[in-house]
């Protein structure tokens, strides 16, 4: 019986650990700063324990990096972010992505402050370019945020030659964009490559002829939701 009890507690601990997502390394200094500030307020005033714990837990939750299992189906593009599909349209890609200057499918995903804010690689391939541009901090749900806001562009090429652009766009509250890969990096679909702090938007530019599989208002799960199918032979 003691052995069964011990096994039961161990199993419960494993379930709890699996249910609590790890934290992105970029969030650790901020969580530590919030926790330290809360501790100082508690030491000086004798109050604010619950508020301090809630603030620390809330910031830690913002930087969560849940495990994801990407589909293995070939020739698809995965959502690079958790959020809500804001727009699906055909537009000219921004100049920094160095894509053909002709209208191409774009899927924009809006991230609220409650969403997971890490970004994930949408397809297996190689990073061709990464380019950061300073800009404004308009609300990320506005269409003009794609052109006016601070952003970081990533250009990816699949083994079949398809070029996919992913744009991390700062929002009204966002003040930091992190991109952790550089040109020449070999990347896998679903792996984390970046982070935007506090409200944002992520645009995915697809090759002409791609079949978009999501619609405005649909929720996406980064690294798991299939955004589109690539043209034949380019996956």
User: For this structure, is 152 an active site residue?
Assistant: no
Instruction: Give dist(CA 130, CA 146) in Å, integer.
Output: 16
- Is-contact 181 127, C-beta < 8 A? yes
Give residue-wise pLDDT tens across range 63-113: 778 899 999 899 999 999 999 999 999 999 998 898 988 999 999 999 988
Q: Mapped to the 3 state alphabet, what secondary structure does 90-137 carry? A: EECCCHHHCCCCCCEEEEEEEECCCCCCEEECCCCEEEEEEEEECCEC
Distance of alpha carbon 78 from alpha carbon 209, whole angstroms: 16
pTM (predicted TM-score): 0.80
pLDDT tens digits for range 181-226: 999 999 999 999 998 876 688 999 999 999 999 999 999 999 999 9
Query: How many whole angstroms separate alpha carbon 60 and alpha carbon 142?
Result: 28
**In contact, 233 and 207? CB cutoff 8 Å:** no
Options 1.20.1050.10, 2.70.70.10, 2.40.240.20, 2.70.98.10; CATH of 76-229:
2.70.70.10
Gap between the Cα atoms of 195 and 168, Å rounded: 8
Q: What is the domain partition of the chain in residue ranges?
A: 2-62, 76-229
C-beta separation of 160 from 124 below 8 A = no
**Which of 108, 152, 200, 210 is the catalytic position?**
200
Closest alpha carbon to 110 in 151, 66, 158, 142:
142
Max Cα-Cα span within the chain? 71
């Amino acid at each position: 019986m003691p052995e069964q009890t011990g096994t039961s507690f161990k199993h419960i601990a494993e379930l709890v650990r699996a249910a609590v997502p790890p934290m992105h390394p970029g969030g650790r200094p901020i969580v530590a700063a919030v926790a330290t500030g809360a501790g100082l307020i508690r030491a000086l005033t004798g109050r604010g324990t619950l508020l301090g714990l809630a603030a620390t837990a809330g910031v830690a939750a913002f930087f969560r990096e849940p495990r994801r299992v990407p589909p293995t189906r070939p020739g698809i593009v995965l959502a690079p972010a958790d959020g809500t599909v804001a727009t699906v349209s055909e537009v000219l890609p921004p100049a920094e992505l160095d894509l053909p200057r002709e209208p191409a499918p774009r899927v924009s995903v809006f991230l609220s402050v409650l969403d997971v804010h890490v970004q994930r690689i949408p397809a297996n391939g190689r990073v061709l370019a990464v380019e950061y541009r300073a800009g404004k901090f308009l609300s990320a749900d506005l269409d003009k945020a794609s052109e006016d806001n601070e952003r970081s562009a990533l250009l990816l090429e699949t083994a079949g030659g398809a070029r996919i652009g992913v744009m991390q766009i700062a929002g009204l509250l966002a003040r930091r964009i992190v991109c952790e890969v550089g040109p020449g990096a070999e990347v896998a679909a679903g792996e984390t490559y970046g982070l935007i702090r506090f409200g944002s938007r992520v645009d995915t530019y697809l090759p002409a002829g791609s079949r978009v599989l999501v619609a405005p208002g649909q929720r996406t799960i980064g690294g798991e939701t299939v955004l589109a199918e690539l043209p034949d032979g380019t996956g």
